[in-house]
Structure 1
Amino acid sequence: MNYIAHIRESDKHIQTVEEHLLEVKKLAESYGENLGVKHITGLAGMLHDLGKYTNEFREYILEAVENPDSPPKRGSVDHSTAGGKLLYELFHKKGNLDRFKGIIAEIVGNAIISHHSYLQDFLSPDLESKYLMRVRDKELAEFELTKQSFFEKVMTEKDFHDYVDKAAEELKEFLTKENSKNYAEKLMFLTKFIFSALIDADRTNTRLFEENKTDESVYNHEKLFNTYYERLMSKIRSFKEQPDAHSRINLLRAEMSEQCEEFAYKPSGIYTLSIPTGGGKTLASLRYALKHAQLYNKKRIIYVVPYTTIIEQNAEEVREILKDDAHILEHHSNVIEDVNEDDENQDGLMNVKQKLKLAKDNWDSPIIFTTMVQFLNVFYAKGSRNIRRLHNLSDSVIIFDEVQKVPIQCVSLFNLALNFLKTYCHSCIVLCTATQPALDFVEYKLDIDKDAEMIENLNEVMAAFKRVEIVDQATEGTFNNEKLAWFIEEKMKEVQSVLVILNTKSVVKKLYELLKEKENGTLIYHLSTSMCAAHRSNILEKVRKHLREGEPIICVSTQLIEAGVDVSFDCVIRSLAGLDSIAQAAGRCNRHGEKDKQTVYVIDHDEENLNQLKEIKVGKQVSKKILIDIRKDPSNHGGDLLSTQAMERYFKEFYTEFSADLNYFIPPLKKNMTALLTETKDQSDYHLAYRHNKKKILPLFLTNSYHTAAEHFQVIEDMTTSVIVPYEEGNEIIAELNGNGSIDDLTRLLRKAQQYTINLYSYEREQLEKQDGLVSYLDGKILALKEGAYSTEFGLNVDNDSQLSVAMF
């Protein structure tokens, strides 16, 4: 009898269980090879759908295909438990204990039983073990038949035990690497890596079967990176032909770029790149990454930026130089809401939810641009869509742009992830910023390499790039919008362009409306995260054109314009915030040294409500103290708000203020998240934990609480929801959102939709729902704004009463 894994929707062709298990095993092995754990990942692939060797599942899937409109049997047909149960019975039961095989049974078994949801707690904070409740306590009626079928059709019992022996040897080697004794931390990351490899291998193989393809078309990263390097160098050589090639700033940019290439010959590690704002950071870091990838055979280059708003410009700049659209992925946010529902009872059937699950979303492109939120979600957030990407972070060059923007509560978690990527995943990490923060000011320190800085003579370079004067308008009084509008008008009598950066969207919008009312012939633009990426890009292109042509222009923006946006204004006004933000704002003034030193005014705006923006609020307070000290004694910090001494003081005081928050404390549990992920209950190799109520012994090697930790993790405190907006091509994407497209069609649409999404805070979503401004697609998995809920002037309109036909200018 043939047991069925999947039945193809188009021609009803059957994929047998053995075909699926062996193909997923092969893929999973290829993912684990780089870490030296191919047999551990392969074991997960080979056993994950073991429970489909049952008559119950065979009847279920046949009935479902024959009656698609009336699904069979309410409830789940459990096919995930069997693989974990087999490992538990063979290698974990009392009397069969071998330390390394017992740990293998737990980490692989947990991945298997969780592959339709998320990793289970080995031991939860209340001392329950969801893992043991499945693999030890759950009865499976056809388990003997399942085991017999596996050993007959997939692998003989002898070969299987030999395979597990090899997996145990890999684990032993993994645990002894670097002589570290922190086994719980190592095993936490290994478990997540195994789970990632399994999720991606399973979904990739299922998609290939459904699309009737035999293999994934994998790019040749070595050939691509060689081509990219030649194109980049051609662009860099062209700079030497420009009229201002020998200007002081351009010569410095060229020198720093060359230093980055020389540094690329060093082995992979964690390094810093402290190029000043306007110093050519994007191209210099790309030059380093491509050269290092060539020399050390890396598979991909990943840029991680603090905000979605920076992605589009950086990606466009790189895309233009490398002349390649196909292999550069922008990943702004998860367009599909991954609510982590258990979909085991739908496995094997093809419906809208399954198509969305199988759509390519696994970071397998050679060059990827993503955000800090998405990077941290890969390691710590709930949902298989996030963790699926983790294994693709190995063997990569990962560049963190504006690394000082790591959210305060995530600093320790960030450091742990980077140390794992460096030590075990053979990845190279570049911390790229104009203002390096004290990221070792925490319990879990970052393992930065010795002599890590790529740029020589940093103080001299910083001084050479000083192109603006900071004028303190913040310590002697405050501004409201009326006073600020008057101040802007006065400055426009002296200069051609003014950029105003404020801390909150509401105040930005009010100031913009106030300036528009005055209608004095000056072009006025507004930018905020209420606009989708494509919308912001269009506005920025117009702004750059007016700046080039010397037309009078005012731009009012939130902090989104501070980092990674190549604009150069005559004058910048920055509402008081952290010194790093002020430094970034200064980088938008006289960016290329076109004129003699221009002015950046720092003001204190009294209409901004920062109660929900604690990091900005504290940053503002610390910066103000430094400003007051400089005003009292101009020799303090060399009289320069942005000096190295001032920055060092700023970050020390800033992190001290947040010292209690650096390790992601979870108030309801009275625990740090790192404790849930890495804490052991005692120091022995084999833990005997007790349930409070029944005093029942729970024999475990691992006691991590993965599921509980993931449920409490969110990078941004107020969770946001991604929605597609009806702006330009966004309208076409929304129109195409139905369940009839292929998986390839959905993959294409979802990638295209990245440019046409915004993130809603919970209160914004509630308001839109009240005003009937939202519509859902694909069984509620994707949300879009209705036409009236998006304005071509402001973006999001929670009142749902915009007139899109009215042009902005």
Structure 2
Amino acid sequence: MAEHLLAHSARDGDGLRHGLADHLRGTAWRAGAFGEIFGAGPLAAHCGLVHDVGKGSCEWQRGLIRAESSGGPVGVPHKHAGTWLLDQQGLGILAAVVFGHHGGLPSRARLRAELQFADDHPLVAEAIQRVGEIVPEIHLPGPIALPGWLTEPEAVAADPYALDLLVRMVYSTVVDADFLDTEAHFAAAARAVHPLSAADLVDRYERRRAELLSDANPSPVDGLRQEVYEQAVAAAGGPRGIYRLPAPTGSGKTLAAGGFAVHHARARGLRRVVVAVPFMSITEQNADVYRQLLDRDDEEPVVLEHHSGIDLDGGDANARWQRLAAENWDAPFVVTTTIRLFESLFSNKPAAMRRVHRLAGAVIVLDEVQALPDRLLVPITSALRTLTERFGSTVLLASATQPPFEVLTPLQATPIHEVVAEPKPLYKALNRVRYEWRLDPKPTLAQIAHGVAEQPQALAVVNTTKDANRLHQLVEQHRSALHLSTRMAAAHRRAALVEIKRLLKELEPVLVVSTQLVEAGVDLDFPVGFRAVAPADSMQQAAGRVNRGGRLPYGRVIVFDPEDGNKGVQSLYGAALEATRDRFGPHCAPDDLDALEGYYRARFDFHNVEQAGQEIQTERQAHDFPRVAELFRMIDEWTVPVAVPYGDVEELQRILVHLRSGYPGAGAQLRALRPYLATLPRGAAARAVAEGLAAPIVGDLIEWLGDYHPQRGIEITSPDPQELVF
């Protein structure tokens, strides 16, 4: 009978099954609430209401009972009925939301083909008829309310990519609502909504910041840091939109960006702050800083750190708990990586996209924006523009080496609000290093190692994990040294950074060899730095770890081009490295702002940035969601997460057993796993599994079974061209 239609099988414990009417209405209620943030509440709610209408057919209901006994899949498709219903109700491409709510958003061509199939499929009509008896509101009495701009031809023409993002946003609300309602059934309790929003955080941020500053050692640059902070807070009172924070290294950019974010959230009634940074090491450090400012021991955590990058969209489409475990950024202050942020925006898969709607009505802080890949800048800046103009968000572009994004087509007609009105005097006042160049003749890594070992305290930064491993071994032939790379577990890197900071503070000898993960935002202060030649912005970022506190007249930064290292760097950096070699050297340091702007413009021209992103933009307009996801690939997608035996190995095994079992609560387990995660290139990881050095866990997460070096972590050679990882 229709009134007994089911959505999900019996849960453990009490054996209660999930009624279909309850699930449809519960999903609609949640999706509608999420969609209200960007003016699409009724639309999102209706898509949620019809998403599982296909489960109403007798064949699907019988399949569910069989699956409950056997533990296998239902084996009966159920997405065509709701898809067909939305199309008949005139919602066009938005019907893709329902068709893709399990497998991913389809292309427009695929959607058309599936709708033709649904036209004559008997299960479609049967399911709609049966569900309509118990949920009559699936049949609309009239046109559904749409976001106002969608009904204005001029507004749509002004941003031809806004509809693409609307589909993604609505899809996100439905997927997240579906997962949450399903999770509530199987867990026998709904997930609690966080009691705070970003707008509630200003007082605790200001109070705790004052306490931290009073406890810190005084620095000659404290006055300039305060000036930057005050300008950021003043700018936070402005309208929603795109803001730019050019702040030299050591100027307190992390605190200033966070201060802007929470003050702006309060001024404009925004609900969430999302801070995105390029490297995992910075998410770890920044999340620690923001936790000190915002979390309290006796309350639910405010700050959510999300960087694991475990792909939960692959594998068995019926692995329910694998999908439910995906992070949905349900916190008022999120710290993540740029790859996680833009993966969400440009993916077409449900686990990755369930968090997209959390970006609407949020303050999005993009830290170290110079690290965004040139070939993706046009679609990225286009999406940022749409988020601010159509979805109520604000974007803060923060960097010591600000690229001139306003020259790119998506932002040419978009106002960019300056947080620091006159940056040049600030950069001049914070100029704390002098560059030395060792390019001709090229030194060997052994010679660099000898030079590093001669220093009481020194940092050496190279471009690849292979060079870092080798240089560390060479330095250790002279003196003990520490190491940093993503081949180390997050907790291992954190412990190394704590030890480095202790030794620096106590003026003890300390040598460090690192990949690029140390150079953007990591708060270290060495008297001397060595940097393998790289694009100008990377070299300046590395210089930011030298004389950071301004306690020396000038620090030394030695730029070197190793004869026997840096292999493959040209293929990774391309025109950026060529533009650097043309403009910088003994005659011009990378901290020259005018030269740096010319470098970026030349780099954009060399990389043909406008044309490079056009194929993605074309496919966005064509609503080919799978093709967009395929074309939009950032380098971190070539790596996979690896759980390594560092720290509490017994606790690690408990987490992995839980994840392998597929039981509820996997989301909490994934968060608990973060300290144990390192990364490997995808090809190297696949070979490690094939050779028995690693084993699959869930999604693309693997467990490392091989040796783990106490300083360098995973040591494995790889011919993969994407060896150039951090």
- Structure 1 length-normalised TM: 0.83
In 2, Cα distance between the equivalents of 1:135 and 1:178?
30
Inter-partner Cα distance in structure 1 for 2:500 and 2:599? 33
Shift of residue 331, structure 1, vs aligned partner: 1.1
User: Tell me, what secondary structure is at the counterpart of 1:418?
Assistant: helix
Which one of the candidate residues 419, 425, 433 is aligned to 1:468? 433
1:297-446 counterparts in 2 under 5 A? Answer: 297-324=269-296, 326-339=301-314, 343=317, 346=318, 353-359=319-325, 361-445=327-411
Q: Could you tell me which of 476, 497, 504 is aligned with 2:457?
A: 497
Q: Give the CA deviation at 1:717.
A: 8.1
Give the 3 Å change call, closer, same or farther, for CA 64–268 of structure 1 in structure 2: same
Alignment of 1:205-244 (within 5 A): 205-213=181-189, 215-222=190-197, 225-226=199-200, 228-238=201-211, 241=214
- Of 467, 477, 486, the residue aligned with 2:450 is 486
Match of 1:517? 477
Q: Which residue of 1 aligns with 2:79?
A: 80
| 1:461 CA displacement | 0.7
Deviation, structure 1 residue 273: 0.6
Q: Deviations over 1:317-370 (max 9, x none)?
A: 1111223472311111322442276x3xx4xxxxxx211211251111111111
Out of 615, 635, 644, the position equivalent to 1:716 is 635
What whole-Å deviation, never above 9, does each CA across 1:138-196 have from its counterpart, x for those lacking one? 34223333222233211257xx333x5133xx155434287341564221111111111
SS across alignment from 1:499 = strand
Structure 2 contact 8–17 (Cα < 8 Å) conserved: yes
Q: Do structure 1's residue 675 and structure 2's residue 615 form an aligned pair?
A: no
Aligned mates of 2:578, 2:80 — CA distance in 1? 54
Residue of 658, 673, 677 corresponding to 1:753: 673
| Partner residue, 2:723 | none
The DSSP-based 3-state class of the residue aligned with 1:790 is coil
Residue in 2 that maps onto 1:568: 525
* Alpha-carbon offset, residue 704 of structure 1: 2.2
How far, CA to CA, are the matches of 2:394 and 2:159 in structure 1? 23
Between the aligned partners of 2:536 and 2:159, the Cα distance in structure 1 is 39
Q: Which residue of 2 aligns with 1:111?
A: 97
**Root mean square deviation, CA, Å:** 2.5
Contact 1:576 1:624 in 2 (8 A): no
The letter for the 2-side match of 1:559 is Q
On the 8 A contact 1:269/1:422 being kept in 2, the answer is yes
In 2 relative to 1, CA 614–781 (structure 1 residues): closer, same or farther, beyond 3 Å?
Answer: closer
Whole-angstrom CA distance in 1 between matches of 2:21 and 2:500: 59
Q: Which residue matches 2:722? A: none
Find the counterpart in structure 1 of residue 648 from structure 2.
729
Write the distance in 2 (CA, Å) between the matches of 1:180 and 1:156. 29
1:115 touches 1:199 (CA, 8 Å); kept in 2?
yes
CA displacement at 1:233 relative to structure 2: 1.7
SS in 1 for 2:553: coil
Counterpart of 1:757, as a letter, is L
- Structure 1 residues 401, 717: closer, same or farther in 2, change over 3 A? closer
Which amino acid counterpart does residue 785 of structure 1 have in structure 2?
Answer: W
Equivalents in 2 of 1:390, 1:640: separation in Å?
40
Q: Could you tell me the TM-score, scaled by structure 2's length?
A: 0.92
Post-superposition Cα deviations, 1:236-273, rounded to whole Å, max 9, x if no partner, equal 4346756975x652111112111111111111110001
Give the corresponding residue for 1:154.
135
Q: 1:453 to 1:66 in 2, by over 3 A?
A: same
- Could you list the per-position Cα deviations for residues 256-303 of structure 1 after superposition, in whole angstroms to 9, with x for gaps in the alignment? 111111111111110001111000111111111111111222111111
Q: Report the 3-state secondary structure (helix = DSSP H, G, I; strand = E; otherwise coil) of the residue aligned with 2:33.
A: helix
For 2:500, the aligned partner's letter is: V
Alpha-carbon distance in 1 for matches of 2:642, 2:552: 42
Q: Secondary structure at the match of 2:310?
A: coil
The answer on whether the counterparts of 1:577 and 1:617 sit within 8 Å (CA) in structure 2 is no
Change (3 A) 1:401 1:72: closer
Q: Secondary structure at the match of 1:444?
A: helix
**Given that residues 453 and 511 in structure 2 are in contact (C-alpha distance below 8 angstroms), is that contact kept between their aligned partners in structure 1?**
no
Distance 2:392 2:418 in 1: 19
Deviation at 1:136, TM superposition (A): 2.1
Aligned-partner residue type, residue 53 of structure 1: G
Aligned partner of 2:171 in structure 1 is 195
Aligned to 2:623: 704
Task: Give, in whole Å, the separation in 2 of the partners of 1:661 and 1:30.
Answer: 37
2:603 to 654, 657, 664: 654
Distance 1:56 1:239, change over 3 A: closer
2:541 to 584, 587, 593: 584
Q: Which of 108, 128, 134 is matched with 2:114 structurally?
A: 134
Residue in 2 that maps onto 1:769: 689
Task: Determine helix, strand or coil for the equivalent of 2:221.
Answer: helix
Counterpart Cα distance in 2 of 1:156 and 1:604: 68
Residues 443, 757 of structure 1: alpha-carbon distance in 2 compared, 3 angstrom cutoff: same
2 CA distance for matches of 1:389 and 1:188?
Answer: 16
For residue 12 of structure 1, report the CA deviation from its aligned partner: 2.0
In structure 2, what is the equivalent of residue 145 of structure 1? 126
Q: 1:495-533 CA deviation, whole Å, 9 max, x = no partner?
A: x311111112112211111121234xxx41111121122
In structure 2, give the amino acid aligned to 1:43.
H
Q: Work out whether residues 501 and 575 of structure 1, in 8 Å CA contact, stay in contact via their aligned partners in 2.
A: yes
Decide whether the 8 Å contact of 2:374 with 2:609 is kept in 1: no
| Alpha-carbon distance in structure 1 between the residues aligned to 2:649 and 2:176 | 29
Cα distance in 1 for residues equivalent to 2:609 and 2:241: 29
Structure 1's unaligned 5+ residue stretches are: 92-100, 123-128, 347-352, 632-638, 666-671, 679-702, 801-809
In structure 2, distance between residues paired with 1:235 and 1:410:
38
Amino acid in the other structure paired with 2:498: E
Describe the SS at the equivalent of 2:203: helix
Moved more, 30-39 or 235-244: 235-244
Report the equivalent of 1:22: 25
CA contact (8 A) 2:9 2:17 kept: yes
CA contact (8 A) 2:38 2:361 kept: no
Q: Is the 8 A contact 1:52 1:79 kept in 2?
A: yes
